[in-house]
Amino acid sequence: MTVADGSQVRLADVPEAIIGTTPANPAFQIMRYVSSEVRISKQTDIPNEIRADRNVASIVDVGRSVQGPINTFLSYGTYDKWLERLLCSTWSGDVLKNGVIQQAATLEFLYEQGAVDSYVRYQACRWNTLALTLRARQSVQANWGIMGIRSPDPTNAILAGATYANPTTTPVFNAGLNVSDISFDGLANAPKVQSLVLNIANNIYQNDVVGSYEPYSHGLGRCEISGTISTYFENTDAYQAILDHADVGISTTLMDAAGNSYVIDLPRTKFLDGGPTVGGNGQAVMIEVPFQAYFDQTAGASIVITRIPGGIAPAGPSLDFSSPNNSQYIGQVI
């Protein structure tokens, strides 16, 4: 027998028209990813029965579900369907806003094992969370949190009529080389940002029923969009916005080497906390700012993502050495 090699595991995805049912003749999309911990989550109960010999009397299988993260780098056009499922909405032209449409998919993992391969599938998968991380001089990371209902028995063959589209080849976004432009509506002097973490959570919950050891369905909780910005302390504008509990719009533009871009706009946020922190000698003074987005009447949403196909390479980076000790921030190269 051949031990499965992690570098040869294929992840594919197909939308479910009927949630919990893999479509006939499924048209799978092979996905780009870095790692995955999606798996069956088995719940067991050990009844607290007393035996005179002190042994455990029984172990009961009481429930199963699917959960786990998929870690990726963000690239243009690769995860547009995942973004739809995450935001419970659909693209209108090239604009996506958070909504209330319930969507799910079947995930399939192919484990290469020589003459006989293994296929493990997960049905009724929801995209519950996303942690999008932008850090100076690093690729943009996306950590997706998955919740599903069931995993059919593993097999050694593809599904009847299944087809597989090749993965995308667009460049990975990075937070250097001036391809990430972050603006703050409501601040006269936008701070230099060392990192930005954007968290999107659907707060999906399970509906359990007597007579089934898998969830009957999933429910949508409140869509919560939050994050943390690490900024250099160059002026008091961000700190004043914290004290004033003022509205601040946050917008970032991610552009790849081919000129394709996403504009991620949070039209209304509050800076929740924070202040200048002194880490010690040889370090810039920073402000860690947790923020929370909320509904904007004009946008009709809490988050708006606009995709812009390119084809024209972005202009070269502009250099700014004004920060103390040549500190790195998003959009800067040294």
pTM of the predicted structure, to 2 decimals: 0.89
Give residue 319's pLDDT band: very low, low, confident or very high (50, 70, 90): very low
- Read off the tokens for 150: 């069931």
Confidence (pLDDT) at 274: 86
- Lowest-pLDDT choice from 15-24, 56-65, 134-143, 174-183: 174-183
Identify the pLDDT of residue 5.
Answer: 77
**Does pLDDT of 290 surpass 50?**
yes
Supply 326's token pair: 């040549």
Model confidence at 315, pLDDT cuts 50, 70, 90, reads very low
Residue written as token pair 């871009």: 261
* Res 331: pLDDT: 59
* pLDDT score for 180: 63
Give pLDDT, residue 313: 42
- pLDDT tens per residue, range 196-205: 999 999 999 9
Asked if residue 82 has pLDDT above 90, the reply is yes
Q: Note the pLDDT tens digit of each residue in 108-130.
A: 999 988 888 899 999 999 999 99
Q: Work out the mean pLDDT of the chain and round it to a whole number.
A: 90
CB 230 within 8 A of CB 193: yes
Q: Which residue has the higher pLDDT, 286 or 302?
A: 302
To the nearest 10°, the Cα dihedral for 320, 326, 328, 330?
-10
What pLDDT is stored for residue 329 in this prediction? 61
**In which residue are the tokens 């806003």 written?**
97
Give the pLDDT confidence score for residue 311 in this predicted structure: 56
Average pLDDT score over residue span 279-294: 90
pLDDT of residue 323: 37
Give the list of residues 6+ apart from residue 192 with CB closer than 8 angstroms, or none: 231, 232, 234, 323, 327, 329, 330, 332
Give whole-number Cα distances, 328 to 308, 320, 321, 324, in Å.
Answer: 27, 10, 9, 10
What is the predicted pLDDT for the residue at 296? 97
Domain ranges for the chain, please list them. 8-43+61-326
List, for residues 129-143, the tens digit of each pLDDT value: 999 999 888 899 999
User: Angle at Cα 325 formed by Cα 320 and Cα 330, nearest 5°?
Assistant: 45
Q: How far apart are CA 7 and CA 289, in angstroms?
A: 38
* pLDDT single digits (tens) 89-109: 999 999 999 999 999 999 999
Task: State what percent of residues in the chain have pLDDT above 70.
Answer: 91
Q: What is the C-alpha to C-alpha distance for residues 271 and 321, in angstroms, rounded to an integer?
A: 27
Distance CA 254, CA 175 (A): 8
Beta carbons of 182 and 269 less than 8 angstroms apart: no
The rounded percent of the chain whose pLDDT value lies above 90 is 71
**Residue 242: helix, strand or coil by DSSP?**
helix
Output the pLDDT for position 253.
92
Mean per-residue pLDDT for 238-255? 93
Q: What angle (nearest 5°) sits at the alpha carbon of residue 126, between those of residues 123 and 130?
A: 140
